[in-house]
Structure 1
Amino acid sequence: MGEILLENIRTYSYHGCLKEETAIGSDYRVDLTVKADLKRSAESDNLIDTVDYVLLNRIVKEEMAIPSKLLEHVAQRILNRIFEASDMVRKAKITVSKINPPIGGDVQQVSVRMGQSKK
């Protein structure tokens, strides 16, 4: 078993419960870890034998482009898409962070972290 990490994926997205958040948007950060058996790809050196991190990045960007009220919702959509797209992924963990959230205080970011295993 091994891990593939995509760290600090930056997007400008339109998530939130306030009208201003969905109209103006803000900066987001996504960190993703997937667990898979990487022994075969380590030996073969073939992309077909691993989890394609270009595909993972595209899934994150596509789902982050769809507005949600809650970070939990967009995080779950990303996890669902990852498991649909790759039979090799056994577990995944995602953190979605809203940078400088409008919560009436000096807060760098608010994050939601979720994990899921293959059923």
Structure 2
Amino acid sequence: MGRIILENIKLFGYHGCMPEEKYIGANYIINIEIELDFYNASITDDLSKTINYVHLYSIVKKEMSINSKLIENVAQRIIQKINNKFNDLIKYSKIKLCKENPPLHSNVDRVCVVLEYFK
């Protein structure tokens, strides 16, 4: 088993329940972790025997461009799309999605949600 990890994907989005969040937007940091058996890819140097991380990134970017009230919803959509697309390969998947400087009227760097799926 091995893991593909995309760390600190930085994207801008318009997610939130407050009206101003739909216009101002916020910065987000996303981490994706996928566990799979990529032994064959590692010995054959064949991209078709693993998950191309470019495809993972494109799923994240596309789903982040769709506005949602809750970051929980965004995280669920991202991980579900990844799991559906690569269902035969994935043994475990995890997403951590963080909103930078959330509007909490307090000094909070970020608020995050984490979803994990085990097969």
**What band does the TM-score fall into relative to the shorter chain?**
over 0.9
Q: What's the C-alpha RMSD, in Å, of the aligned pairs? A: 0.8
Q: 1:23 aligns to what? A: 23
The number of aligned residues is: 118
After superposition, give the CA deviation of every residue in 1:15-64 in whole Å (9 maximum; x if it has no partner). Answer: 00001111110100000100000111111101100011000000001001
Q: How does 1:1-119 map to 2 (within 5 A)?
A: 1-86=1-86, 87-118=88-119
State the 1:72 CA deviation.
0.8
State the 1:6 CA deviation.
0.0
Superposition TM-score, scaled by structure 1 size: 0.96
Give secondary structure in 2 for the equivalent of 1:3: strand
Work out the CA distance in 2 between the residues paired with 1:21 and 1:89: 34
Gaps of 5+ in 1: none
Work out the CA distance in 1 between the residues paired with 2:89 and 2:117: 14
Give secondary structure in 2 for the equivalent of 1:16: coil
State the 1:116 CA deviation.
1.1
Identity %: 42
Work out the CA distance in 2 between the residues paired with 1:9 and 1:53: 12
Superposition TM-score, scaled by structure 2 size: 0.96
Work out the CA distance in 2 between the residues paired with 1:63 and 1:89: 19
Give secondary structure in 1 for the equivalent of 2:56: helix
Work out the CA distance in 2 between the residues paired with 1:18 and 1:108: 18
Work out the CA distance in 1 between the residues paired with 2:4 and 2:18: 34
Gaps of 5+ in 2: none
